[in-house]
Amino acid sequence: MPRALISGITGQDGSYLTELLLEKGYEVHGMVRRTSSLERSRLVHLYRDPQIYGKRLHLHYADLDDPTTMRRVLTTVEPDELYHLAGQSHVGLSFEIPESTCDLTAMGTLRLLEMVQDMRKKPRFFHAASSEIFGQPTHQPQDETTPYAPVNPYGCAKAFATQMVTIYRKTFGHFAVNGIMFNHESPRRGENFVTRKICHAAAAIKLGRQKELLLGDTSAKRDWGYAKDYVRGMWLSLQHATAEDYIFATGKLHSVQDVVETAFATVSLDWREHVRKDNRLLRPAEPQRLCGNPAKARRLLNWEPTTSFKQLIEEMTQAELAQLTRTAA
C-alpha cells in the first residue's frame, strides 16, 4: 500500500486529494495545526468513518513554523509521496500579514525541502505553486517558461518556494514537482475567497437571509477551474517517470462579473438588484491577464479539466443553497 503525506490536508485541495488517494488504495497521513478548535469540516465524513480513520487515514499535529513537529512526522510516516499544499494562501490577506505569509509559504517550503534532503528514503515531492508568481506577465497565456513577476506578498512568497523546489531538483536530484495551479474552486472553497462569497450571497439572498452583496473590482479576470480536476493533476505529476513542472489551468478567462451573473442566474435572481460596489474591497495591486496554458500537462500526463466554468459556479451556488436550507431546518 503506497503511503502519502499531505500538508494542508484540511483545506479544499487537501480534502479532495485525500479522497482521491484513498480511492486509489493509499494509506494517507496528514499534517494538521494544533488549534483550540477541532473542527475539520472538509474531512468530517472520513474522520467519522471507523473503517477509514485510524486505519487508512491518520492525522498528525505539525506546523510549518515548527520544524521539530514537521521533522517528527516525516521520520515517523516515511511517505512514498509528499504533497505540500499548506501555507497562507489568501492574496488579499497577504498584504495585511506579509511576514507570516512569507514565513509559512516561502520558508515553510524550504524547511520541508531541507528535511527531505536529510531523509534516507526521499519521497516524491509535490509543491502546490500558484499562478500569482506571474503577477503581470508580458504575454498570455502563461506556460512553464514564463518569467516570475509577482505583484503581492503571497505571489512573492510562492515565487521563492517554487524556485527553491527547482533548485533542489536540479542540484540534489530530488523528485520534486511544481504544479503551478491557476485559480481552482469548489463548494469546499474558503468563505473568504470571492467565488465562495458570491455563491453564498446569491443563495442567502434567494432565501431572504441576506439583502445585498458588496464587491470590489468585478472586472478582474481569472482562469478558474474545478479543484477536483486539479488534485488529479497533482497525483498524475508524481506518477510520471521524471520530475517536471506543470501548469494546471483551463486556458479560459472569466471575470468576477461572470461569477456574479452565473451565480445569481442559478437561483433565478437579477444581480443588479442586489450587488453593490465597495471601494474598501479594492486591492492595492491586482494581477493581470493570468491565463494558463496546460499543454504540457495534457501532453505528458494526459490531464484535462472536465468541469466547465458555468458548471462549477452552478454547483457551488446550489451547494450553498442546500447548506443554508439544511441549517434553517
Annotated catalytic sites, by residue?
130, 132, 154
Cβ contact 294:144 at 8 Å: no
Cα distance between residue 216 and residue 290, in whole Å? 18
SS (H, E, C) the chain: CCEEEEECCCCHHHHHHHHHHHHCCCEEEEEECCCCCCCCHHHHHHHCCCCCECCCEEEEECECCEHHHHHHHHHHHCCCEEEECCCCCCHHHHHHCHHHHHHHHHHHHHHHHHHHHHCCCCCEEEEEEEHHHCCCCCCCCECCCCCCCCCCHHHHHHHHHHHHHHHHHHHHCCCEEEEEECCEECCCCCCCCHHHHHHHHHHHHHCCCCCCEEECCCCCEECCEEHHHHHHHHHHHHHCCCCCCEEECCCCCEEHHHHHHHHHHHCCCCHHHCEEECHHHCCCCCCCCCCECCHHHHHHHCCCCCCCHHHHHHHHHHHHHHHHHHHHC
Q: How many CB atoms lie within 10 A of CB 70?
A: 21
